[in-house]
Amino acid sequence: MTITVSKHVDKAPDSFAHSISISAPISGKVKSLATSNEALMAMRACGDGVCVDVSGSQLFAPFEASVIQSTATGETTVLKARSGLILRLGFASSVHQLMGERFRRHVSVGDRVAPQQCIMDFDLAFLRNHLPQVELYVTVLNGGKLRAITTPGGPQTSIAVVANSDDLMTLFF
């Protein structure tokens, strides 16, 4: 297995072709993937990005996109932007054991979503009572040309973000 080195940095690189700001799709505390209890996420097996310790009960589209994957149990949604960026919004793997209970998806594969559109809601209290952690991983699946990622507060800081109000991360290509 290959371990991907994080591109999560304190500040923007000196040179880059373009950047994309990703709006917070959920409220919570942003953390480095390295802090995840899930080894595959910590090793960036699903791409580089961030972990959010969830405090909200709705998941929103961070940009205009097409839904290219949505699991039946609700734990993962994959969005593709017009620019070609593919973003995975996936809950911790322990969510799968709930078999979609108390998750309500509002989109299906093939749907177009607008920025800030609610794509799912869920019962956060129920999740907290049944799971060891409620984390959402936001990762770039096609980050081959990704040069760096910045987050509010930097890679070593856990900072609260509000869905549809704050930026979650900025990607530099």
- Residue ranges of domains in the chain, CATH in brackets: 19-172 (2.70.70.10)
> How would DSSP label each residue in 77-106?
EEEEETTS-EEEEEE-GGGGGGTTTTEEE-
pLDDT higher at 14 or 116? 116
The confidence score (pLDDT) of residue 3 equals 41
Q: What is the dihedral of CA 17, 143, 50, 16, to 10 degrees?
A: -10
The confidence score (pLDDT) of residue 6 equals 66
**Is residue 158's pLDDT more than 80?**
yes
The confidence score (pLDDT) of residue 74 equals 84
The confidence score (pLDDT) of residue 5 equals 52
> How would DSSP label each residue in 110-127?
T-EE-TT-EEEEE-HHHH
Instruction: Convert the pLDDT of each residue in 100-154 to its tens digit.
Output: 889 999 999 999 999 999 999 999 999 999 998 899 999 999 998 999 999 988 8
> Which residues touch 82 (CB under 8 Å, ≥6 apart)?
64, 65
pLDDT higher at 38 or 54? 54
The confidence score (pLDDT) of residue 2 equals 40
* Eight-class DSSP state of 36: -
Instruction: Convert the pLDDT of each residue in 43-98 to its tens digit.
Output: 788 899 999 999 999 999 999 999 999 998 889 999 999 999 999 999 988 888 89
Question: Token pair for residue 138?
Answer: 């936001």
SS (H, E, C) 18-34: CEEEEECCCCEEEEEHH
The confidence score (pLDDT) of residue 73 equals 86
The confidence score (pLDDT) of residue 10 equals 81
